[in-house]
Structure 1
Amino acid sequence: MASNEPGAPAPRHLPGHIAAALAGAGGETDSAGQPWAGRSLAGDDAKIHNFEDDDGSANAGYRAAVAGLREGTGDEAAVVASLATARVFIPIVAQLAEEAESGHGLHADKQADMALVTLKAADGRTALPAFTSTDALAAWHPDARPVAVYAARAALSAVAEGAELVVLDPGADVTFVVRRPAVWALAQQKPWLPSYADEELAAEMGAAAAAFPAVRRIGLLPGRGVAARAADGTVLAGGGAGPELQVVLYLEDGLDAAGVQQLVAALQAEWSRNVLFGERVDSLEVKLRRATG
């Protein structure tokens, strides 16, 4: 019962579409107009999705992997590996396309478009945000509706949307960027190895470089973009947006600046034609060193 006493809290007004749904509760059909009659709500029929007992918290394996990254005992490969069986939440935003007035004088959603949220990364690429917990999603966008999916399914959605990155928990204490090769690996439910630790990739890139006499050898190292920074300033050895691969070229003496520039451009063109390179390298930086010995 409403109170008119001084100091009493003002009555709370529900959003129109929620009030309309409540007013229509208890009818013979659900909100989609499908009859309740004949439905079983017991046993397997009661399950509405794969996460019935989900409390909305972050996956324990993911939390442990991120803790290892923070403490310096883990790496980004372990974080991505933890996502193989993890549930995440994809934010969906409802955009009202048409509104109708119900028989109770309340406004209800007659037609709404559900929009998958995407972001633009600093380098202009499209990124799909995903959240490891409902709290992280609500803090980022209170009006977004969480859709629970396995991370592999989220990766598939990213590929379908033309997104090259999946950004986990944007705006949270730790934001982890899953780069394109890892997104593809998750989507295919395959293990992922960072390019800077990939011996097969190193061998192919080295074989291509061997065709250039001025290149004595190459080395693959983590790029400057591998690192990420937590909200408290802690630097993490993984989760950055890239470049994730640093290629060190050990060159013989005698090349001038123009010659070095032409050599690097030719090498990059050669690598870009390699299928393995295209699949496993997201972005790179080149560092030059003088060959000794």
Structure 2
Amino acid sequence: MESQPPGGGPVPGTSAGGGTEPPRHLPGHIAAALAGAGGATDSAGQPWAGRSLTGDDARIHSFEDDDGTADASYLAARAALLAGDGTEAGVVASLATARVFVPILAQLAEEAAGHVDAQGDALHGDKQADMALVTLKAPDGRTAMPVFTSAATLQAWHPDARPVAVYAARAALSAVAEGAELLVLDPGSDFTFVVRRPAVWALAQQRTWTPSYADPELAQSLGEAAVGFPAVRRVEIHPGGGVGSLTADGRQLPGGGSGPELRVQLFLEDGLDAAGVQSIVAGLNGAWARNEMFAERVDSIEVKLQRAAQ
């Protein structure tokens, strides 16, 4: 049995795919970073036209001595996850101080105001282009923001996108401001990692993130909510079916999926009929929905029912 996410709506089965939403206006700090990169030129005054985003040409932003490659701490956390030794919490923690690239695309604005010639005919002005932030539409309808750990992965994803270098915490802040619930790291690459809403919020607030399925305070809170339901003998939490992800070559990873990330296992007394079970689940859903800790720390859940051992 599946339950709804804390924000309501269907339980997500989100992936990094889906359509692309229309570009959005830039948040202030992204616009400032773009302006700092020199508009048509980079911060060193070199033109963007004809530039490669790899090698020596990758020095395209205000981060001194940055060659456009992925952050070393992120690469180490990613390698550990790929080897089966790491966790998705470790990957998110590595982003706390990492530089990432936000893709910015030119969006055609309204045609500039023209003038009238001597014959009274309108003279059309030049078309103008605005730079806009890109978001993606996840399969469950939620908004996701793509970010890239290196200039090379961004160029491979969209050669026309302009990379703006920001700290990942800043990118998370932009995601929150844009109403995006997910950050998608390196979409279209051999390893795409989804940062879900509670982790996005934690990054934006520069707090340590603990996955809901590994959160003892949350487990205690869910257990306390079940006290009012005597037929519930025990409550356990486990990683949900959406925690894992796949690499491009089909390897299963213990993190980076898009949810549901929390499995709540309810151990029920024997002898309950269907109506009794439905009443318990509905009552617990209501109690969890009113729980501030649950709303903040849980992205989406699946509820599993099991008969308690006698």
Specify the TM-score bucket, using the shorter chain as the normaliser: 0.7 to 0.9
Per-residue deviation, residues 125-161 of structure 1 (Å, max 9, x unmatched): 0000000011111111111110100000000000000
Kindly indicate whether residue 227 of structure 2 is the aligned counterpart of residue 210 of structure 1: yes
Say which one has the larger Rg. 1
Amino acid aligned to 2:210: L
2:211 and 2:173 map into 1 onto residues whose CA distance is 20
Asked whether the 8 Å contact 1:118–1:126 carries over to 2, the reply is yes
Q: 1:256 aligns with which of 243, 248, 273?
A: 273
TM-score (norm 2): 0.75
Match of 1:66 among 78, 83, 90: 78
Match of 1:86 in 2: 98
TM-score of the two chains, using structure 1 as the length reference: 0.79
Mapped contact 2:172–2:204 kept (Cα < 8 A)? yes
**1:278 maps to 2:301:** no
Q: Is the 8 Å Cα contact of residues 179 and 241 (structure 1) preserved in structure 2?
A: yes
The gaps in structure 2 that reach 5 residues or longer are 1-37, 41-59, 114-124
Residue number in structure 2 paired with 1:37:
none
Question: What is the CA distance between 1:109 and its match in structure 2?
Answer: 7.3
Structure-2 residue corresponding to 1:17: none
Verify the 8 A CA contact 1:96 1:109 in the aligned structure 2. no
Contact 2:144 2:183 in 1 (8 A): yes
Match of 1:236 in 2: 253
Name the counterpart of 1:53.
65
Map 1:1-293 → 2, pairs under 5 A: 50-97=62-109, 98=111, 111-293=128-310
Higher relative contact order (CA 8 A, sep 6+): 2
- Distance in structure 2 (CA, Å) of the matches to 1:66 and 1:109: 46
* Cα offset, 1:110, TM superposition: 6.4
Quote the Cα distance in structure 1 between the aligned partners of 2:138 and 2:277.
31
Alignment: residue pair count = 243
Label 1:136 to 1:112 Cα distance change in 2 as closer, same or farther (>3 A). same
Structure 2 CA distance for aligned equivalents of residues 258 and 139 of structure 1: 53
Which stretch of structure 1 is more off in the superposition, 198-207 or 254-263? 254-263
Instruction: Answer whether contact 2:61 2:164 (CA < 8 A) is retained.
Output: no
The alignment's C-alpha RMSD in Å is 2.1
Residue 93 of structure 1 contacts residue 145 of structure 1 at CA under 8 Å; is this kept in 2?
yes
**Structure 1 unaligned residues grouped into runs of 5+:** 1-29, 33-47, 101-107
Percent sequence identity is 72
2-structure distance, mates of 1:244, 1:131 = 23
The 2-side partners of 1:96 and 1:65 are apart by 39
